[in-house]
Amino acid sequence: MNRLITRYRTACMAVVVSAVVALVAIAPHLSVSHAAPGALWSERTVSAPATTVPAPNWVELTKALKPAVVNISTKRVQEGAQMQSPFGNDDPFQQFFKQFGGQPQRRTVRSMGSGFVINSAGYIVTNNHVVENATEILVKVDDGRELPGKVVGRDPRTDLALLKVDATGLPVIPLGDSSELQVGEPVMAIGNPFGLERTVTTGIVSATGRVIGQGPYDDFIQTDASINPGNSGGPLINAHGQAVGINAAIFSQSGGSVGIGFAIPINQAKSVVTQLAANGRVTRGWLGVTIQPLTPELAKGFQVPGGGGALVSSVQDGSPAAQAGIKAGDVVTEYDGHKLAQPGDLSRLVAATAVGRQVPLTVVREGKTMSLQVHVARMEEPDQPAVAKAEQGKEPLGLAVETLTPEVSRELGLADARGVVVRGVRDSSPAEKAGIRAGDVITELDHQPVASAGDMKRLLAQHGKGAPVVVLLHRDGASLYAAMSS
């Protein structure tokens, strides 16, 4: 997707809102009323029933909720370019630079983002990219205190993180039901855009179910409520005074709001944050299939009535899908009682399935409908996948890349798990001008092997200014070189 999706990284501030929430599953000594057993929060409404959309009283809702928005400031150590001779490798003093200036320069970077309290015992939800790689986290709460923040757990795949501060009695925001959101419904965003604390903006839900190329579980709420860098991790509020989303990204060519922002649905966050609270990480279900969209032409060719579903392009040997009898060319139309409209529906449903559970699914094979049973296995994920996301105005090549792990390779249907996969390309960037696309796999940079996002970052830091950056790409089974101006 050749759009500039700017993630609100820690280059901005944090905000949160208030109301009433409960936590039971986090620790044995925590018990709050208004929450069902095992729930992390309460889901009671502030005003009207969830079946209607009342005319919002933003003034009163702002007074009630703004105190639960927090400011998250972080510190991280960043490596800069290492010293090199200005006369190139042929300079007789190049060895001097390698010996005494060859180590990358390290510097401390401070940045800010938003978050909001979901439990009065000090549990705070924010984006993963707000706290990723942070060596120090400070959370500023409504009464002005700055408290050290501890990361309870992070999930890079959904860009969510759960923090804990040593405080009690904090104001909280109740969580709503994002599945009930309607296009055109009024919403309010609270955050710290450009460091302007506790800023409130309003708008409507522009669309739901948006896929913006950020990962396999994209299901974003789109809104025209003004969202800018610094709003990351702040809540998107409905007219009932409930958090229905977590602001996470914007579409922009300037780095500022153009009326298209994206929030993670709160229903997706509930299951993720509950697991982070209990285990510090997320366990997902896995089938072992590679899927692709079912175009109208493919639906006709595979004789799928209605055209909805996920087309299986490959099945991994020995996987749960293979054991269940799923084959390449099958079209999965229903999973565990849920009809599939898009391939992403299957990815999200499988990920949310308890490991070891037997699930019924329906496939269309050669025009015939079949019912199968599959035992869902556990998806193997790296503890902390190395991700280097492009930032507007900060990443000169305009690339967002992710280390190609075995799981990501399976997701993309690749035989080799070496290199980095391009997750995004910024508009008008050197990468776009060189013809690089999302989904390309980079295995070499400047004729040096690239095995991870860290390797790529290191090689770019060593690259001499002025010379083009040459990369070896793998795309659709073929290899090609591309050169980007640095």
The more confident residue out of 463 and 146 is 146
Residues ≥6 apart with Cβ < 8 Å to 269: 125, 158, 160, 246
Catalytic residue, candidates 114, 226, 232, 409? 232
Mean per-residue pLDDT over the chain, rounded: 80
Higher-pLDDT residue of 12, 74: 74
Q: Decide if 232 is catalytic.
A: yes
Cα(362)–Cα(351) distance, integer angstroms: 18
Residues facing 116 on adjacent strands: 69, 125
Cβ contact 303:366 at 8 Å: yes
Better-scored residue on pLDDT, 46 or 182: 182
Active-site residue, selected from the candidate residues 111, 114, 129, 224? 129
The per-residue pLDDT for 78 is 66
When mean pLDDT is compared across 177-181, 231-235, 422-426, the lowest value belongs to 422-426
Domains and CATH numbers, the chain: 1-47+55-81+103-279 (2.40.10.120), 285-378 (2.30.42.10), 387-484 (2.30.42.10)
Percentage of residues in the chain having pLDDT higher than 70 = 77
Poorest-confidence range of 84-93, 168-177, 380-389, 399-408?
A: 380-389
pLDDT score of 11: 35
Contact 453, 421 (CB under 8 A): no
Residue pair 112/141 in contact by the 8 Å Cβ criterion:
no
With beta carbons less than 8 A apart as the criterion, state whether 84 and 43 touch: no
* Gyration radius (Cα) of the chain, Å: 23
Dist CA 335 CA 454 (whole Å): 38
pLDDT at 8 over 50: no
- CB-based contact 335:361 (threshold 8 Å): yes
Q: What pLDDT score does 203 carry?
A: 94
Query: How far is it, in rounded angstroms, from Cα 296 to Cα 315?
Result: 23
Q: In sequence order, which residues have a C-beta less than 8 Å from that of residue 129 and are 6 or more positions away? A: 7, 8, 9, 10, 113, 159, 232, 389
* Residue 159 bears catalytic tag: yes
Lowest mean pLDDT among 19-23, 40-44, 131-135, 359-363: 19-23
Average pLDDT of the residues in 382-401: 51
CA pair distance 46, 171, nearest whole angstrom: 14
pTM: 0.63
pLDDT in tens, 394-428: 456 888 888 887 767 766 667 666 788 887 787 77
Please tell me the predicted confidence (pLDDT) of residue 13: 35
The answer to whether residue 375 is catalytic is no
List pLDDT tens digits, range 39-95: 566 555 555 555 567 789 999 999 999 999 999 999 887 655 555 544 555 555 555
- State the DSSP H helix or E strand holding residue 348, giving kind and residue range, or none if neither: helix 343-351
Alpha-carbon separation of residue 452 from 155, 385, 401, 483, 484 (angstroms): 19, 10, 9, 19, 19
Per-residue model confidence (pLDDT) at position 95: 55
Q: Is the pLDDT of residue 272 over 60?
A: yes
For the chain, give the longest Cα–Cα distance: 77
Task: Using alpha carbons, list the distances in angstroms from residue 427 to 7, 320, 389, 430, 459.
Answer: 15, 40, 14, 9, 23
C-beta separation of 19 from 64 below 8 A: yes
**What is the per-residue pLDDT for 363?**
94
Residue 370 is predicted with a pLDDT of 94
Most confident of 31-45, 262-276, 468-482: 262-276
- In sequence order, the 6+-apart residues with CB closer than 8 A to the CB of 279 are 153
CA gap 31, 33 in Å, rounded: 7
- Place 392 in a pLDDT band, splitting at 50, 70 and 90: very low
* Three-class DSSP category at 469: strand
Residue 18: its pLDDT value, please? 32
Share of the chain above pLDDT 90, in %: 39
The set of residues, in sequence order, having a beta carbon less than 8 Å from that of 110 and lying 6+ positions away, is 73, 74, 75
Question: How far is it, in rounded angstroms, from Cα 323 to Cα 316?
Answer: 10
Please tell me which residue in 155, 159, 224, 345 is annotated as part of the active site: 159
Which whole-number Å values give the CA distances from 247 to 164, 233, 483, in the listed order?
20, 5, 35
Give pLDDT tens digits for 191-229. 988 878 889 999 999 999 888 877 778 889 999 998 888
Nearest Cα residue to 249 out of 347, 158, 135: 158
pLDDT of residue 452 exceeding 80: yes
